[in-house]
Structure 1
């Protein structure tokens, strides 16, 4: 049975600490049930709803707008990384995030650490996408690696499973009066090992499993930092591992970011023993995420149709009567811009295996057609070509 365990808090001492934070005393930490061997029975109505939403997700996976599911998936993955970070209070501009991604491969300036943090969130999503698809076993060490990738080089935040009590809400200095207090550190490893075993199982359907894995992870809160972003990424990992999706295409953070009160209510319901209350919130959020992803895919298709029209008009104005070849560099760029909305000549070389001269000419032709805007990205005058239509779509 899930239970609250009494713990004793020994407060900090020293100057500058408010009196209320110097008070020690008892607090109650919540310890959830282990997932292995749980006898949960999913109510028929919720099981039916889960099946319906799974069909919606499968239909979304088949949405091959202009034959570009890969680009749509990468666009949705970036949207998910940005929105998941905003829930944590990290909210740089979209173009700065893309620049931070680009800086992982070449010398680019013009962004701050907050943009790097979102770029690392995107890296974690990619790692989970690869690992949950290919790794034979999900382990504690794998989850710890995701957290380490998320934190980057920040030396002030402990890595791996926490060895201290954490809490949500209330004071930064004491758990007494907090909104929620996760399990004591001595019980974290057993709970996470049990969660990993559940992630490797097929005890429930894909979407139900994703819901339970996420709420259990957030309840354990196993890390000193990064729990929210890693926990939301685990949703995608489960769906990938079970074969419901082939790529990260469900922008669940887009919904949870606007459903903050409902989300917290759902978490609280689970911790009070009401699994159905949590599943109702999660399944509704997943269905809304499918709707949002379908809308983004439709908007992308409209943008790309407009791009093709503008490119053909530009070609005709230059006296070129033949349509753009599907194997040309410009066509490849048109298909790839949703995944890479800021490019340099070097990036085009790296992505498409072309010469510097041909990369630059293709970018300049799309700029001439009005699809790309240029900025200077570093002191050496390297130009960045921005697809503002995509950046604006991600900013909505």
Structure 2
């Protein structure tokens, strides 16, 4: 736990057990020294996850009250975002995807994958030069898949989320949507699992452990955030994939919150809450494996409260940018094509003519006319400097998103 964290809340859960194996590194072709190789070889313990399908957490009254408050806060945020961003208003259109992208960016940042709002927006246009932007965009696809599959959470759904994630991650496509066949561990050495903070189960244990986890996820008798936190911790303990376990596990969080009716319209920035104290988050996962689910439940409770509060501020800031754009466009006739573009600028603050042709069905002439109108009124600026294939951006929306991300990094 972080230095300033309160004492952990005890919620007993069966601890992860271990089984001993022997690790051998091939000396031939290894760049490591003889001393390092000698230390790498030897016995290690890999995890045997407890079965939790029938687990009944005994929640202290104070934690139960905090959970109820956090769940209510998320539901209120969901309703408020729907009201402010106007998802049902055809004049405004759905803008919730920007919240999903914000959450995907924060989830990726926990894995030290950092990308600015502009690069992520360029990636959506296929124009990004950043490898991180492509990887985070793949995380967006995994989140989208998680929400679409929320009504049918089974092993196939989890594999689909992972497939969407790794198909966009260069070099890992062959592992997409498939359980790992080798050992993985959480630690500082790529050479050996010896000394790792967590050695995941042997590959043959994955399928029965995931089947047990799915049974747990499908229950309807547990408080939503506690249920979600425990499922997430169990997933991270199983670590079923060769890569992308953290991001898939956090996408699973949103699928469960959608399935349980807490978040019906939007995506709350819960990973942003976790990002404020990644040390505490990882410590809570360790505590879970040692037999205390209280820390991970409390961590997700705090992250949910932060998500509701900071998400509301983010929505208000984005809405203010839309209001400013409307005022700038007040002199344009009501049937001008630029008005059709405005609702999409929150989710897509960097656009070009092909985007409008593809997304809104405009012809090329109408698309360029809309862009010219938005530039003339000061809503968009052209920043690429190209004579052809120009790219336009909304500086205010990009600034709002970058400031939000910077505040998380500072905290």
Query: Same fold by TM-score, threshold 0.5 exceeded?
Result: yes
Is the counterpart of residue 65 in structure 1 residue 84 in structure 2?
Answer: yes
Unpaired segments of 5 or more residues in structure 2? 1-13, 404-411
SS at match of 2:175: coil
Spell out, residue by residue over 1:226-272, the C-alpha distance to the aligned partner (whole angstroms, 9 max, x if none): 00110111110001111211234211111212211111121122112
Q: Which has the higher contact order (CA 8 A, sep 6+)?
A: 2
| Correspondent of 1:340 among 348, 357, 377 | 348
Aligned to 1:359: 367
Q: What TM-score do the two structures reach when normalised by structure 1?
A: 0.89
| Correspondent of 2:328 among 291, 301, 310 | 310
Is the counterpart of residue 7 in structure 1 residue 18 in structure 2?
Answer: no
Aligned to 1:55: 72
SS at match of 1:247: coil
| Correspondent of 2:124 among 101, 124, 131 | 101
User: C-alpha separation between the residues in 1 aligned to 2:372 and 2:278?
Assistant: 44
Structure 1 contact 81–122 (Cα < 8 Å) conserved: yes
* C-alpha deviation, 1:299, in angstroms: 0.8
User: C-alpha separation between the residues in 2 aligned to 1:302 and 1:11?
Assistant: 58
User: C-alpha separation between the residues in 1 aligned to 2:116 and 2:104?
Assistant: 13
* C-alpha deviation, 1:376, in angstroms: 4.5
Spell out, residue by residue over 1:299-342, the C-alpha distance to the aligned partner (whole angstroms, 9 max, x if none): 11221222222222xx2xxxx6xxx53x6532332222111212
Aligned residues: 377
User: C-alpha separation between the residues in 2 aligned to 1:266 and 1:358?
Assistant: 54
User: C-alpha separation between the residues in 1 aligned to 2:111 and 2:43?
Assistant: 29
Is the counterpart of residue 128 in structure 1 residue 143 in structure 2?
Answer: no
Could you tell which deviates more after superposition, 211-220 or 344-353?
344-353
Structure 1 contact 124–150 (Cα < 8 Å) conserved: yes
Spell out, residue by residue over 1:262-313, the C-alpha distance to the aligned partner (whole angstroms, 9 max, x if none): 111211221121112221111011111111111101111221222222222x
User: C-alpha separation between the residues in 2 aligned to 1:341 and 1:348?
Assistant: 12
Is the counterpart of residue 220 in structure 1 residue 244 in structure 2?
Answer: no
Could you tell which deviates more after superposition, 220-229 or 334-343?
334-343
Unpaired segments of 5 or more residues in structure 1? 104-108
Matches within 5 A, 1:239-388: 239-312=257-330, 315=331, 325=334, 328-376=336-384, 381-388=388-395
User: C-alpha separation between the residues in 2 aligned to 1:57 and 1:91?
Assistant: 26
**CA RMSD in angstroms, aligned pairs only:** 2.2
Aligned to 2:11: none
Aligned to 1:106: none
Could you tell which deviates more after superposition, 19-28 or 227-236?
19-28
User: C-alpha separation between the residues in 2 aligned to 1:377 and 1:55?
Assistant: 47
Structure 1 contact 249–293 (Cα < 8 Å) conserved: no
Distance 1:96 1:184, change over 3 A: same
Spell out, residue by residue over 1:158-182, the C-alpha distance to the aligned partner (whole angstroms, 9 max, x if none): 3411121111113111000112212
Aligned to 1:79: 102
Spell out, residue by residue over 1:71-124, the C-alpha distance to the aligned partner (whole angstroms, 9 max, x if none): 552111111111211221222332122121122xxxxx3423221111111111
List, as ranges, runs of 4+ consecutive aligned residues in structure 1 with deviation greater than 3 Å: 68-72, 153-159, 375-378
Aligned to 2:195: 177
SS at match of 1:62: helix
User: C-alpha separation between the residues in 1 aligned to 2:400 and 2:391?
Assistant: 19
Structure 1 contact 214–232 (Cα < 8 Å) conserved: yes
Structure 1 contact 236–248 (Cα < 8 Å) conserved: no
SS at match of 1:77: helix
Aligned to 2:406: none
* C-alpha deviation, 1:196, in angstroms: 1.6
Could you tell which deviates more after superposition, 139-148 or 172-181?
139-148
Aligned to 1:43: 60
